[in-house]
Each structure stands twice: as structure tokens, then as C-alpha cells.
Chain A
Amino acid sequence: METNGKERSSVINHLKIKNLYKSMKNSYYHIGGIFFGLMLTAVSIQTKAQTRTISGTVTSSGKPLSGVVISQEGSNQVAMTGNNGTYTLQVSAENPILLFRHPDYAEEKITLTNQTVVNISLEQKVKGIEEVILNAGYYKVKDKERTGSIAKVSAKDIENQPVTNVLSTVQGRMAGVNITQNSGMPGGGYDIQIRGRNSLRSLANSPLYVVDGVPVGGEMASQFSAEVLPASSINPLNSINPADIESIEILKDADATSIYGSRGANGVVLVTTKKGKSGKSGPSGAGSGNLGLNVGTSYAVSSVISNLKMLRTEDYLMMRRQAYQNDGIVVYPANAYDINGVWDQGRYTDWRKSLIGNTADAFTANLSLNGGNERTSFLVGYGHNEQTTVFSKEFKYKSDNLSASISHSSEDKRFQLSVSNRFSLQKNNVPSEDLTKQAFLMVPDAPALYLADGSLNWENNTFNNPAGLYNSSYSYENKQFLTQMNMQYELLEHWFLKLSGGLNYQDFDERSLKPNTMYNPASYQGQSSASSQSYKSNQDRFSFILEPQLSWQMKKGRHALDVLVGTTFQREVGKQGSMIGIGFESNAFIENIGAARTRIITDQIRTEYRYAAFFGRVNYQYAGRYILNLTGRRDGSSRFGPSNKFANFGALGAAWIFSQESFLKNRKWLSFGKLRTSYGTTGSDNIGDYGYLDTYDLSEYLYHNTVGLNPSRLYNPDYSWEKTTKLESALELGFVKNRINLTTTWYRNRSSSQLVGYQLPSITGFPNVLANLDAVVENSGWELELSARPLSGKSFQWESSINISFPKNKLVSFPGLRGSTYANTYIVGQPITSVKVYQYEGIDPATGLYRFKDFNGDGKITAPDDRQALENIGVRYFGGWNNTFRLKNWNLSFLFQFVKQKNWNYHNIMPIPGTMNNQPQEVLDVWSQDNPGGSYMPYSSGSSGIKNQLHMFFMNSTAAVSDASFIRLKNLELGYQVPVKGIFKNVKVYFQGQNLLTFTNYFGPDPEFRNIGYLPPLKTYSLGVLISL
């Protein structure tokens, strides 16, 4: 009977497959449904067997142990110990083998004879490399057995930190991963480079972000935030609550990234969120019962870091007067209010304190409930974060996250399902323009911001009051719904059918309000609300991904084989539209664009991206010490023209665990040794949609009530994928029972057929055309990771780890560089970040003017012939040193981040000293007959053409590039585990600090970044408590 049923269902399935083939062209939505059906059909068939009952108690150090999973080898029977450590299990067969497993204890295996009671004691295990499981995206791999380069940071290292984006917490923790926060403003972007810049296109170096298997897409292109968020960038991980994150894995080499094919060239960031754990609660896993509640809350205060000291009024006015005197100007200009007597020259305001010197405070609360039984578990969580800015008014960033996940496995463990949903909301409200620039440049004797009655002071129309910006605002509201599903069914012994899929829906609303009251009332924009402006834009993005996979795992004797094949379908539809309203009866209506006198509705755009792929992996292990890993992917993307839609990528990785060899096996000092290497290709399709079409764009500006059409771009249908070839070798060693671990990695990535916006002279009508360049960029380097547990006593433990990366970037070849438009930008053999600048040669003792090297000896300083001094902007080495101490209930950990680099300094953006701008105190060291050793040429009010020209050379000379190395106490935590009883399982109070100390010689606001117009990173102190019930 059963056989018949089975055959019938197989016929049905055949039919389904046939239908599937037919309907596939129309839609592949069906595929998911049919796979689902297949699985359900398969699940409904179960095996039955004869049984007897075994019971017993599991203990550790004499105490009952809960949460131990007991199973019979080769059967589906599973039990778990309860609070008192007891269990009962049905076993079949005559001499069954029982397995006792607990994540924190060593596994035990017992072969039964006739017993019916089995009591056992488990030993707490020392976690070493062999137990760490890494998420490699499509598969999981034991750290010991991996052939690729995967860096991992898990929750325990990064939890509780007062940040809104998890990327802040991993800075300095991973070798080869260089992360910079774009601005201290919450809700903005990050620059993340995994093993350097592969692409000549600066925007094409961001990695692929994957959350629980669902690619979360690139950054939302913000429309109105350019003046407040650098590069208008909003990082996709902003919408993931850091408290929900279980681990972050970063895939670096070919072996790990080739399976991501066309999207893996810049590395892959895999985020795994926390899932429900049955019968346990709290991150430590302590306690009992099968329901757990965690509550965490913290309060933080932050302030701006800045190294520059600006001039005070007396010195500033001295500089200004001297400047006019130097320029031979006796009568000060009518609008040079700072020195012509219009403004009170007795005033002094420290504008950094006044404009960006506020203390921002932040409040975070997280709540989660987990529970379940041995087959089903769940986790629901809610997180709220709210923080103010360092600006003087009530601007706020708020985020809310709601998540729910459930996992289930069938009784025979052959079917497994996990589903998670995540909804997040971020609201950001900031001034429409960052005030940081004004905080540095505004003159110290400028008038007060407010009059006595609290209104804005325009000082009789002479003062462009920056506080006017507080009347404006930029705000966004981002809603993201991410749902992910994973199903696995063991079709046959060793055969697994897996379906993972996900949806990502994002709705991004932006608003920028610019009422007339932000402007000087004498200006034309400041006249009345008839010139107030209101901008609104809405974008949404819906994407789904479906990845059916089949894997086959087999172990026979000393051979182990693991095969995976799968396909990916992804589709993303984006919509965008915006509205502008100009002129309102009153500013009270400014949020309602419907009330504007002029209403402009710009394009309602719909874009689509489709992606399909076929991927596979074959992993072969022999005798647990020789490992081969072959991965590959064939990708198709709608972002390329008809002849270039497909490409193949693949990699081979190999590892040799030599410590398992007989000649090394019993060496006491060497507990683990592995040599691994990998080689393969990845690509990048990070170029935006539709670039290959010859089209016209709708213009947002009307002409005589007609919507204009403009040529979209220069037409080149023939560009294709950028390819990166990656080679890596590594040596992993463990000493003294893995108490000391050392990993040394060497890598070399080469990116060819560079897909760039090929620069063109503007006479072509466009600045560039998308094309492949025959240039090769190489990133190579060494990465060292050392971790140790110097002390691991019962009451006192010390763990320490250090990582350091030495990246090297080089333009290997560029045929035709000399004749190309890049002739003056790049140099073969040099890093692509290097720049050509003027060679600064100090001050001419005769004239007091700057001197530069005249490379071509023609007596004039001109570009490009005299702009020949080479400066390598960029990182030499970077890393982090992390320490954790535990003494009884106390824990202390700190992370130092260090970066050795060269960067542009403040000279690169400094206005010429003597103009109506404040300056750093360094400019007081000005050259004169009495101070022939001065560092700056005599001040100028800005009207001397020669000095303006020389200052411009100076801004782009060797004097504007300097060491920007720093050591920063990135994070500090001091925690105390409060001894508790009763319903409390765990209570912890902690103090956290971010960016507490910085050691640097850098000349500029902050060595980590140099976007002077934007807010530097913040220093944060926070206090929090975690309670588990």
C-alpha cells in the first residue's frame, strides 16, 4: 500500500516537474511552492520501530545538568535533560549507542548492553578551534576543517556596545577588514574595505551584505541628505538591531567567496541573527526551565572628538588686520563685518562648543522572550533605541526593531524548518546641513546666535546665522521587513533537500524642510513663506530570493564527501518618486506639500533587477587531514547587455591538517597545525541597473509645462563583468592544548577588466562612459592573528588576542595608460590610492612666499608637469588588540585599534589664512622678517592672486599630506555579574566606553576620517544592565 502511495506521489511529482518546466518561463514563483509541496509530501512518510526505555541523570561537577540532548546513534529518538538533569529515552536495536551532547560540554558516547539506567557526568569543554562552527553562507564548516578565509565575530565580543550599527563594533577586530564610519551622525554610512580596493571605481568597493541568507541589497540612494550625511550614504545594516546579532562572518578569499560569484569580489558580510534556544535562556545558557526572558537597558552620553584648537578673537583679529595690511588695503570692505567695526570685536565664542559641543544622550532597551521544547523553539524580541545629536536642538535618531523566529524539527529530525521575521523602523531627524564646517570656520567674534527674546539674531542682516539651520530639517523614516525561511529535508540517508528563501521589503521616506526662516530675512529666500521649500521622496524596494539546494553527504571509511548544488533566483523591484512644494501661505503648512503654491511631482520611477545563478560545492576529506573544497557559480544578471549577461566563477581550496599526521600527532607543544591554500575567481556587478541601454531620461525640470527628456548617458552596450582572481595561503597553528593560536595568512587578489566610468574630457558631453579597462589592480598582504589564554584559572581568566594586517595595493598593469584619460591619475607599480602633488619646498627667505619644486625647470609651477611628487595616501598596517579579564563576578575587556596610515591633513581643506574664516592656532607661526622659520606665508585677505594661487598649490602639495596614524581605545567594558537567586537567572551591570582615548600626531579634527564638513566620530560612555529571568 505504502509503496503504491509512494509511486503515485512520485508520478505526481513528475507531473509537477513537467508543469514546472512549462510554467517556468512565465514565473518562477511557482518553484518555491512546488518545492514546498515536495517537501511536505516527503515529510509525511515516517518510519516506525520497536523500542525500550532508558533513563538516567546527567551531571557535571556533581550538579545536575539541564539541556543535554541524548540521542541514539542511527535512530531518530531524542530526549533532553530537564532541570534536575534526568531524562528518559526510547531506544531500539539490541546494543544501541547513546550520544550525550551539550554545546558547552564534551560529547560522550556510550554503548549499551542491557542497562535501563545510565547516569553520566559530562566535563566542561575547553573551546578550541575544533568546536567553532563557521557560517560560510551556503554551508557551515568547522573552523578546523575550513579551506577558506572566514573571519568571525560573535555576540559575546560585541554585545552591549552603545552603537546603532554593528559595523562600529567590529572595527579593529578582524584582520583584513578596514572599516571607517563616515560621520558621527547617527543613521549614516560606513566605508568598509575587505582586503583593499579592488575596483578603480570608488563606489564599487562595497561588500555584499547577507542577513540570514537574504542579500539586503546595496545602500538606499538618499535624495536630500548630501549636506548632512557624507556621500548621502545610509548603511543597510542600520536596520539590524546590534542586540539581535548572533555572529558576523566576513568571507574574504576565493574559496569562501566564489560561491557568491559575481557579487563576491569585495567580500561578503554574513550576519546571523539570534535564534530561539529551547529550554535555555540568556546568552550564557545558564538557568533552567524552557522559557526565558531577557531584559537589557542602557543609557549613554556622547560628545565630539576633535584635535584642532582654533584661534581666539585677539589672535584672529590680529591675523585679519595683518592680512589687509599685507595686501595694501587700508579701507576694510563694507561686508568684512568682523574687522570693519560693525560687529563687536570684544566678543569671543568657541563655535565648536556652541554648535557641535552638546552632549548627545542615548537610551536603549531590549527585550526578548525565548523558549520551546526539544523540537520547536522560538525567540521574540523587541529593541528600542533613541538618541539625540550633539547639535544644540532637539534632533533625534530613533529605531525600533521587532523580530520573531521559530525553528522546528520533525520527530525523526529529518525535517527542519526555521522561519524568522524582522521588522525595523528607523527615524532620523537632523538639521538639513551639518554644522560642523561652520563650527570650525566661523569667525570667533561673530555675533550671538540669539537675541534676548530668544529669536534668531541676524545682526541687522549682516550675519548669516548658522542657527537658522535649526529651523530646517532633514528626516527620514526607513521601514524594513525582512523575512527568511529555511527548510531542510533528509530525502534519503545522506541526501538533503534544502530550500531557503527570503523577502526584503524596504520603504524609505525622506523629507527635507527649508522654511524661509532659516535664511537671512534680507535675502530673497528669506523674504516670506512664499519661498519656503518642502521636499519629500519615497522609495520602496521589494526583493525576493529563492535558493533550492540539494546536498549529499557521505562518509565511508576514511573518505568524506560533501556535495552541494543549488540555484538562485532573485528579483528586485524598486520604485521611487518625489515631490517638491515651493511657497506656502504660512510655514505651518510646510509639511503638507498639497498646500504649496507650486507643486512639482518628479519622476515615478520603477526599476528592476533580475539575477539567476547555478552554484555548487564539492568538499572531499580524506582521513580527516586532507581536505579539498571546490566551489563554483554560473551567474546571470540583468545589469549587463545581451551579449554579456552570463559569467562563470570558481575556486579550489585545499587544506592539510598536518598535526594529525603520525609524526606530529603526540607532540605536546603543537596541538593543531594546518596549512591551507585557495585560488579562484569572483566578480562584481555593482554598477547599477540599465547602464547598457541607449535611452533618454525624464528630466525633473519642466520647460513650458513639458517634461523634458535628456540623454541618459553615453552609450556603450558592450561592457561586461569585472573579475577578481584571489590567491591565498595560510598557516594555522595551535599550541599548548590550543591555549595559544596563531594564524598567518598571505593573500593576493588581482582584479582585471576593470569596469569603470571611463573618464572623458567634458567636450564629449559627459564626464565618463561605463567601460571595461584593461587594467589590473592587485591587493596583496599579510594578516596575522594571535590569540592566547595566558590565565585560565577557576576564578581568574585572561584572554588576549591581537590581529594585524599589512595590506598592499598596486596597479600592476594598465596598457595604454600614457595615452588614456588616467595618465595623470595612476602610476603603474603604485597603489591606486596614491596621488600626485606639488613638492613643497618651504618658504622663500627673500619673499616669504611658498616654494614648490619646478620639476620641468621651466621657471613656472604648473600642472601636471610640476605636480609630480608622489604621496601614498592609505593604510600601511592596521589591527586591534583585545583583552578580556574575568575575576569571579567581574569582567573587564578593552580593545585598542591601531592604524598606521598617511592621509590628507587639514591643510588640504584650509582656507587661506587671513580671510574671514577662523583658523587653527598653528597659523600663528607665520613667516616674517622677525620669524624667518615660520611655517605659513604672510596672511592675505584673499585679494592677492599670487598668494591665492600659491595657497592652492599648498593645499595640494606634500605639505597637505602627513602621517595620520593613531591608536584608539575603541571599546572598554567593565561588567559585574550580580549574584542572584529566585526567579532571576542572571543579572549583569556594565559600563561601556567607545573611542575613549586617541593617541595621534595628526593635524586635523580626527585621524580616522577627514570629511571636515561632517561630524567627527563621537566619544561615548554608557551604563547598562542585563537581566535574565
Chain B
Amino acid sequence: MLKKLIMKNYKINTYQCRKASFCRTIGLLLLFCVILLSCEEMLEVEIPSNQIGKDKVFADVQTANAALAGLYAGLRDNSPLSGESLGAFLGVYTDDMDSYALTDTNGVLALYHNQQTETNSTVYSVWSTAYQHIYAANAIIEGAQASALPGNEKERIEGEALLVRSILIFYLQQVFGAVPFPVSTDYKVNQSLSRLEEGEVLSRLETDLLRCIELLPDQYRDVERVYPNRKAAELMLAKVYMTGQKWAQAENMLKTILGSPLYSFQNDLSKVFHKDSRHILWQLEPANPGDPTREAMLYYFSGAAPTGYALSDRLVASFEAADLRKQHWMAAVIVGGNTWYRADKYKNIEGNSTEDSVVLRLEEVYLLLAEALSKQNKTAEAVGYVNPTRERAGLSPLASSLSKELLLEEILLENRREFFAEMGHRFLDLKRNNRLSDVQAVKPNWKPFHSLWPIPQKDLLLNPNLNPQNNGY
């Protein structure tokens, strides 16, 4: 009986217990709801350590400069200005270099045979990498303009980015003709941009470069001249003027550069590609100490037939026997009775500490000025700007009595000998002088429409506003 009573009590107690824990259960249910409500804050995450908010990038000069450094690194590694891009592509496209690839894996062989189509992958990479960096430049321009950086720094940062954008668009215009000209980072606008007529592109470039000249200082940010200054912008503007046949304006601009105490002509041929030399306007530094330049890696071959690029016979033949550039800037590779020449301007393939990839150098100012003067019939003055490179190469100076036609011919030739394997000079020079048909002599497939490359099909399909395709493609 007693036992039963205890049992009963126990049961009641257990019941109460269970009631209490039932409350607890309800409490837990409430807890779930509370947790749910406070979820918002639980989902807060920190920005990852390798990213930085756009607003913070332009909050101080250091980080804004880092954004510019990212842009220059991109230009050096993967852009039309890179040492392994247009220099080689336009070299084989015209008559300076031969491609020795046996199969066309990336489209370079098609360019060499002047058989490129709108699906050519090299054409696409030149186009798309240019616009990739144009976006980055626009992002910096927008960021700097909206920033509270100190005035002079703000201007310089904007100026550098604007200059990079202008150079890229200049090259795009040279290679593709009428091209879209993005000036903002808004993809909703950019994705349906149409192409601007070539003349319109040039006039906008003039405006932009004039603004660069206002924004940029003369003095270099670094003694090594790895960042462009006002003079680099002036040289670019001169090139744009020359493309638009504005000889007098070009002459003016080029003379401004020559008047600067920052530069002196490099008389030692072996030091033309030394990074400390005072004739360099702008150069791109390799990524890491000791890294060779892109050009040195690209053109190197030895001990066997080339598999990539070698200088064309026609280029080699364009040098007079006594021309020292033949000894300094080319290397003969002799295998089994065959001789090939490799471009040897950049020599350090390992442990490089003396060479950067030159983008702009004073010789170009000389030869452009000679051309601009000749076009204005100032031939006697012009000769004075062709002779320095000739004399440095051990050649005799030209007579100041040369006729305009002969002089222009000499300038074209001198440009070829001076700037082979650099930035596609030959193509630009021939084009400016309406002489692209010259290459037909060694390029059986060359047609007049080859003065332009096709707009990549991929972009035509994604943005029909880019139609029509360039003639002939």
C-alpha cells in the first residue's frame, strides 16, 4: 500500500518534471525563432585579405599607385604593348620576321600567311586584352576623379591612366580601324557600344592626350623611368598628329620633347636597351628582380632551327654591311649549313639586371621629326634627325641635299632598321606612309584590305552594334 502511494507520488512528480521540461521545450522553440531573427548579423563576413574596397583604393596615394602598378603589370604581361605581343605579331604580319611554327595553334601562322579570319585567336587576344586594360584605366580615372586625394597626385594618377588608355586605343585604331571607345566602367553602356570612325577616334585621342599633358608632370616618378611622364604623352600625341597628317603640330610637339633637359641621345649602340640610359622615355620593368624581358624570352633560339620567330631575309638584307646594328642587335644561328638570325636587342635570358622593355625612346622622336619635317619640305633640317641613328650604327651621314622622296624613303628604311621587333613599328610606319602594299613583294597573300585586322567574331556576336565587319573579312 505504502509502496503504491510512493509510486503514485513518484508518478506525479515525474509528471510535473515533464511539464517543466515541456516548458523548456517551448523555450527551445522560441529560441529557434530568436536565432532566426538574428541571422542577419551572423552572416556578416569580413572582406577577404586579398581584396580591398574600391572606395579605399582611392583613399590614399599608396593604394591608388598600386592600382596603377596593377595596370602596368598587366600591360607588360598580357596586352598589345607586351614584349611578346604586337612586336612579334605585326613583325610576322609584315615582312620583318618569319614564323617557324609548323602548326597554327594560336593563329600566329595565319597572320604570318596573311590569312587571318575573324575567329583568329591571336587577333582576339590583342583586342580583348586591350579592352581589359582600358577598363582598368577607366576604373582608375573614375576612382581618382571621385577621390579626395591631394590635387597634384590626383591629377598625375588620372593622367597616367588616361595616357595608358590613349596608347591602347591608338594601337587598336591602327590595327582594327574604327573601334569602340569606352570612357566609363559601366558595362551596361559598354556592352552595346558602336565603333567610332577612325578620324573621330584620332580627334578624341588628341583631346585626351592634351589633357594628359596638362595632368602629368615632367619629372619622372622614379629614376628608372618605369612610369610615363608628360613627355611620353607628348610623344604619343605627336604620333596621333602624324597619323592624322598634322605635320606642323607633330613637329611642334616633337621639338618640345627634344628641348627637354631630361633626355640625351645614346651614342653607344650597346647601351640602347640599358635601362639606365637617358634616351628612354618610358619602359616596362619585368616582374621580379632577375627576370628577363618578355622580348628576350620570346625571340631566343640557339643550336637548332627556330621553332618560333626569326628575322626575315629581307630585313637582314636591308642593312648595309657596315651597319653595327647587325652585329649588336641580331645573332646568327648556324645549324647544318643553314643560317638564321634571331632578334637580339634584349640579351639577358637569365639573371637580368640591366634591361627593361622599352616602350618609347628618343630615336623615335628623331625619326618622326625627320618625317614630319620632310613632309613639310624642310628636308635639310630633316636630315639632321636621321643621321644620329645612322652615325651611331657606323654608317655615313646622309647628304642634306637629298630630295624629299628619297629622304622619306631613307626614313622609312631607317625606321625599319632601328625599330625591328619593337611594338610593330614597321606596320605603323608603312601604314602612315601608305606603303603597306610594299610587303606584297614577299607576301603573296597580301591584299589591300589587310591594312586592318578583322573585328573578332566573338564580340561581333555578343555586340551586334560592332557590325559591319571590316572590309574583306
Contact = CB atoms under 8 A, between A and B. Distances in A.
B20 A7 contact: yes
B45 A598 contact: no
A25 B461 contact: no
A28 B26 CA distance: 20
B73 A699 contact: yes
B461 A864 contact: yes
Given A6-B17, A567-B35, A823-B461, A704 B42 contact: no
A527 B48 contact: no
Contacts of A47: 14
A706 interface: yes
Contacts of B70: 696, 699, 703, 708-710
B356 to A, nearest CB: 10
Contact of B104 (A759, A762, A942): A942
Interface in A662-703: 689-690, 693-699, 701-703
Contacts of B110: 945, 948
A13 B20 CA distance: 11
Q: Can you list the 4 inter-chain pairs with the closest CB atoms, starting with the nearest?
A: A765-B135, A708-B70, A945-B115, A461-B304
Given A335-B307, A703-B72, A598 B42 contact: no
Nearest to B463: A761
Nearest to B300: A524
Given A701-B77, A765-B132, A942-B104, A636 B42 contact: yes
A607 B463 CA distance: 35
Given A636-B42, A693-B53, A707-B69, A943 B187 contact: no
Interface string A495-507: 1010000000000
Contacts of A767: 128
B132 A759 contact: no
Contact of A608 (B48, B138, B336): B48
A638 B100 contact: no
B190 A764 contact: yes
B351 interface: yes
A761 B290 contact: no
A942 B103 contact: yes
A765 B136 contact: yes
A462 B47 CA distance: 52
A609 interface: yes
A712 B51 contact: yes
A614 B37 CA distance: 10
B401 interface: no
Interface string B51-83: 111100100000101110111111011000000
A945 B42 contact: no
Contact of B135 (A38, A606, A766, A864): A766
A555 interface: no
18 contacts: A10-B20, A335-B307, A461-B304, A492-B18, A521-B303, A522-B304, A614-B36, A636-B40, A690-B48, A693-B51, A761-B466, A763-B190, A763-B463, A765-B134, A766-B135, A863-B119, A863-B461, A948-B104
A634 B44 contact: no
Contacts of B226: 703-704
Contacts of B48: 605-608, 689-690
Contact of A762 (B28, B51, B69, B459): B459
Contacts of A336: 102
Contacts of A759: 462
Interface stretch (A14-22, A120-128, A620-628, A992-1000): A14-22
A829 interface: no
Interface of A: 2-3, 6-7, 10, 13-14, 17, 20-21, 24-25, 28, 31, 38, 42, 45, 47, 333-336, 342, 460-462, 491-493, 495, 497, 520-524, 527-528, 530-531, 548, 550, 565-567, 569, 582-583, 597-598, 600, 603-612, 614, 634, 636-638, 645-646, 689-690, 693-699, 701-704, 706-712, 714-715, 759-767, 769, 821, 823-824, 863-864, 911-912, 915-917, 942-943, 945, 948-949, 952
Nearest to B58: A696
B63 A530 contact: no
A598 B290 contact: yes
Contact of B103 (A17, A706, A911): A911
B51 A565 contact: no
A645 B303 CA distance: 62
Contacts of A711: 54, 135-136, 139, 185
Nearest to B456: A762
Contacts of B102: 333, 335-336, 915-916, 942
A140 B14 CA distance: 30
Contact of A583 (B32, B338, B351): B351
Contacts, number: 322
Interface residues of B, number: 113
Contact of A335 (B42, B224, B305, B445): B305
Given A689-B48, A696-B54, A42 B21 contact: yes
Contacts of B54: 694-696, 711, 715
B119 A766 contact: no
Contacts of B36: 567, 614, 634
A20 B30 CA distance: 12
Contacts of B190: 760-761, 763-765
Secondary structure of the A side of the interface?
mixed
Contacts of B47: 690, 693, 695
Given A698-B52, A710-B71, 19 more contacts: A10-B21, A13-B27, A28-B42, A47-B14, A336-B102, A524-B297, A548-B32, A567-B36, A600-B287, A636-B39, A699-B74, A702-B287, A709-B57, A709-B67, A714-B185, A760-B191, A762-B128, A765-B185, A863-B457
A3 B13 contact: yes
A6 B136 CA distance: 67
A45 B139 CA distance: 67
Contacts of B32: 548, 550, 565-567, 614
B241 interface: no
B113 interface: yes
B20 to A, nearest CB: 5
A524 B304 CA distance: 12
B109 A704 contact: no
Interface string B97-118: 0001011100001100101011
A462 B459 CA distance: 39
Contacts of A493: 18
A674 to B, nearest CB: 33
Contacts of A769: 187
Contacts of B65: 706
Given A702-B73, A949-B117, A523 B187 contact: no
A703 B14 CA distance: 76
Contacts of A690: 45, 47-48, 51
Nearest to A525: B297
Contact of A491 (B21, B44, B53): B21
B273 interface: no
A341 to B, nearest CB: 10
B181 to A, nearest CB: 9
A550 B28 contact: yes
A24 B100 CA distance: 68
B24 interface: yes
A911 B51 CA distance: 42
Nearest to A945: B115
Contacts of A709: 52, 57, 63, 66-67, 69-70
Contacts of B335: 461
Contact of B132 (A611, A614, A762): A762
A462 B302 CA distance: 11
Nearest to B109: A942
A703 B221 CA distance: 13
B315 interface: no
A762 B78 CA distance: 14
A610 B43 contact: yes
A706 B454 CA distance: 37
B29 interface: yes
Contact of A25 (B38, B63, B69): B38
Nearest to B19: A492
